[in-house]
């Protein structure tokens, strides 16, 4: 028996950032085409016949927002039959982490605007993108507990207080700062610098650190135990 299929394939990118005064933010674009004309949505679009999924999501993210990042992790496949009014469309969602200060947003292609939104204060979103973001936030909060991916959200050099605040923001709860520093120091994944930065909330300048990627990947290969 012949099977009739009229399924099209898209990709969507959930890109998280961290702005100290605002918290965890996600990148959204405003659509210039139907359906959901002028609505906010995740960067994304249809996969071309000649490209891979990874090439498609990288292309859509760059052309719609001006953001180009090295690594996007596949999140989930969304394939509800009624998720897109244009017909049966399956979307492969990806998520990644960036430092927003490293990018100047530039909307183009089928996007008229691009902006960062706090994950706790999102506008009405097109399609099922609110559901996609909700799942991505849960994945991020679970992953951050056992893998130090939060360093992607910080400046290259940062005071330890910024790292602590980031984890509290990501986990949406307070952490035991003494135990946190003890775990980080025990792993040896920070490089201390002979530089200091004045902190608004503190009287004395704070020492700066950077992430030791080589040490981290070595520990990960050895089965590192990292849990906050």
pLDDT at 201: 59
Confidence category of residue 150, pLDDT binned at 50, 70, 90 = confident
Q: Given a cut of 90, is residue 112 above it in pLDDT?
A: yes
Question: Could you read off the pLDDT of 169-219 as tens digits, one per residue?
Answer: 988 889 898 888 888 888 888 999 998 887 655 567 889 999 988 887 787
Tens-digit pLDDT profile for residues 158-167: 998 899 999 8
**51 secondary structure, DSSP code:** S
Give the mean pLDDT of 68-82.
92
Q: Report the percent of the chain where pLDDT is more than 70.
A: 95
Q: Three-class SS of residue 3?
A: coil
Three-state SS at 162: helix
pLDDT digits (tens, 9 = 90+) for 114-137: 999 999 999 999 999 999 999 999
pTM confidence score: 0.89
Number of alpha helices (DSSP H) and beta strands (DSSP E) in the chain: 5, 10
Could you tell me which of 145, 125, 110 has the C-alpha nearest to residue 26? 125
The pLDDT tens digits of the residues spanning 37-60 come to 999 999 999 999 999 999 999 999
Specify the DSSP class assigned to residue 192.
E
CA distance 144 to 167: 8
């Amino acid at each position: 028996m012949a099977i009739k299929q009229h399924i099209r394939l898209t990709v969507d990118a959930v890109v998280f950032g961290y702005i100290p005064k605002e918290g965890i933010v996600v990148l959204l674009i405003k659509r210039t085409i139907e359906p959901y004309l002028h609505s906010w949505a995740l960067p994304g679009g249809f996969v071309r016949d000649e490209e891979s999924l990874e090439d498609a999501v990288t292309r859509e993210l760059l052309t719609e927002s001006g953001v180009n990042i090295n690594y996007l992790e596949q999140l989930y496949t969304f394939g509800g039959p009624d998720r897109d009014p244009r017909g049966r469309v399956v979307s492969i969602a990806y998520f990644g982490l960036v430092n927003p200060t490293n990018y100047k947003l530039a909307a183009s292609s089928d996007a008229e605007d691009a902006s960062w939104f706090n994950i706790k204060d999102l506008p009405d979103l097109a399609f099922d993108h609110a559901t996609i973001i909700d799942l991505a936030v849960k994945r991020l909060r679970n992953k951050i507990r056992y893998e130090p991916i939060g360093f992607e959200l910080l400046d290259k050099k940062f005071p330890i207080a910024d790292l602590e605040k980031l984890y509290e923001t990501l986990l949406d709860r307070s952490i035991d700062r003494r135990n946190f520093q003890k775990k980080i120091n025990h792993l040896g994944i920070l490089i201390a610098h002979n530089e200091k930065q004045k902190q608004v909330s503190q009287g004395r300048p704070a020492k700066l650190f950077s992430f030791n990627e080589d040490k981290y990947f070595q520990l990960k290969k050895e089965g590192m135990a990292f849990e906050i």
